[in-house]
Chains A and B, each alone.
Chain A
Amino acid sequence: MVLVLFSICLVASAAVAYVNKITTEPIEQAKQQKVVAALKAVLPEFDQTSEATTVDGFEGVYYSATLGGEIVGYAFESTSPNGFNGNVKLMVGFAADGTIVNIEVLEQAETPGLGTNMTVVDNPLLLSFKGKQAASVNMTVKKDGGDVDALTAATISSRAYADAVARAYNAFKSVTTGEINAYTSATQLKQQEGEAKCDGTACGGCTKEEAKECGNGPHGKCGENCKHK
């Protein structure tokens, strides 16, 4: 009995190992092709790209593209963990002068028909960035006071998208200026602001008692919340 089961497992694992061996290379190639295709889509014309490189303060990797030995742009593989359903991974391409050339979605698991519209050609999210000088864009959605047009009924996905672009831009600054800037996402900033204000002391136009009531929640815009209560 044990012997039969053992031999079945043995044969099965040998077969799986064999398939694994013959597919390793095509799988690698398929992944490479995807990266190359994304690079072509997001960068200005180039004849060579660097290997994947890392920079401090940025979790992903980036590629610098050259044309005739001169750097024409950078592409950042940027991931935001704040998607509606996990990570949103983008390839963000910058020209050397900081213009966002194009953005390609590499990975996302957003709601089909809502958040997935971020992969559609010329969607409002992409158009908020495409062709613009990165420094001139406030990279949060309009609902949060930024310049980014969110997708209809997909604000969380849109926030994650903007967050990923902001991360890429932050890394772009680090790469081009040589100064390392730690990245703080808009959500984190908001939280910090909330915590700083709503620690149970008088703040934002509300009394100490009211401030206690609204607590340290992540939406801790103390002034607003307290007025409601």
Chain B
Amino acid sequence: MGKNLSTFTSGLVKNNPTFVLVLGMCPTLATTSSAANGMGMGAATMFVLILSNIVISLIKNLIPDKVRIPAYIVVIASFVTVVQLLMQAYLPDLYNTLGVFIPLIVVNCIILGRAEAFASKNGVWASALDGAGIGLGFTLSLTLIGMVREVLGNGQIFGVDLWQGGGALIFVLAPGAFIVLGYLMILFRKLTAKTK
């Protein structure tokens, strides 16, 4: 159990996909203009990541080495399509905001990376935990970036006004994403370095 737990928590801190592995930067920068958007993107990615990790670790012995990447991509793409359809049906507003970034989860390197690096070498249970850990790490990071950008840029948090009059608009625009990500990364490194 201790090993499983560490598999799960490593995704949150030691292998945090955003601040440590620095994977999946495209959706990270593009969809975190508000906390809710970041969270939605993170949750969608986590869903795909857990399921694809489970399926890939289940069928890892059936797949010949030469075609493993196409096989992974088929699995991942199917789950992404499923998420896309479900979101369109039950969360149309979120779907409209995230737009093109939902289909792009297919090429998110976190998912393919975990399939290749973890799920193809480990059991089902461990892979599911790894997916959950990394997915949750990704979701929390995206939510955090989204929150900071929303507060600084619009004076809101999860769409609720903190104060009147908005903020520095640059944080909602693309450059703000880079600035916030950079500073959060510094902060994250500093905090985790101390605990070592």
Contact = CB atoms under 8 A, between A and B. Distances in A.
Q: Which of A4, A8, A13, A114 has the most CB atoms of chain B within a 10 A radius of its CB?
A: A8
B25 interface: no
Contacts of A12: 74-75, 77-78
Nearest to A13: B78
A121 interface: no
A30 B92 contact: yes
Contacts of A1: 64, 66-67
B85 interface: yes
Size bracket of the A interface: 20 to 34
B90 A26 contact: yes
Contacts of A23: 85-86, 88-89
A48 to B, nearest CB: 25
Contacts of B154: 113
A224 to B, nearest CB: 31
A113 B170 CA distance: 9
B33 interface: yes
Q: Which of B33, B66, B77, B82 has the most CB atoms of chain A within a 10 A radius of its CB?
A: B82
B173 A8 contact: no
Interface string A21-62: 001001100110010000000000000000000000000000
B74 A9 contact: yes
A27 B85 CA distance: 8
Interface residues of B, number: 29
Contact of A15 (B64, B71, B78): B78
Interface string B70-101: 11001101100110011011101000100100
B172 interface: yes
A189 interface: no
A27 B173 contact: no
Contact of B173 (A13, A16, A107, A111): A111
B187 interface: no
A119 to B, nearest CB: 11
Nearest to A18: B82
Interface string A82-109: 0000000000000000000000000101
Contacts of B64: 1, 4
B104 interface: no
Interface string A123-155: 000000000000000000000000000000000
Contacts of B90: 26, 30
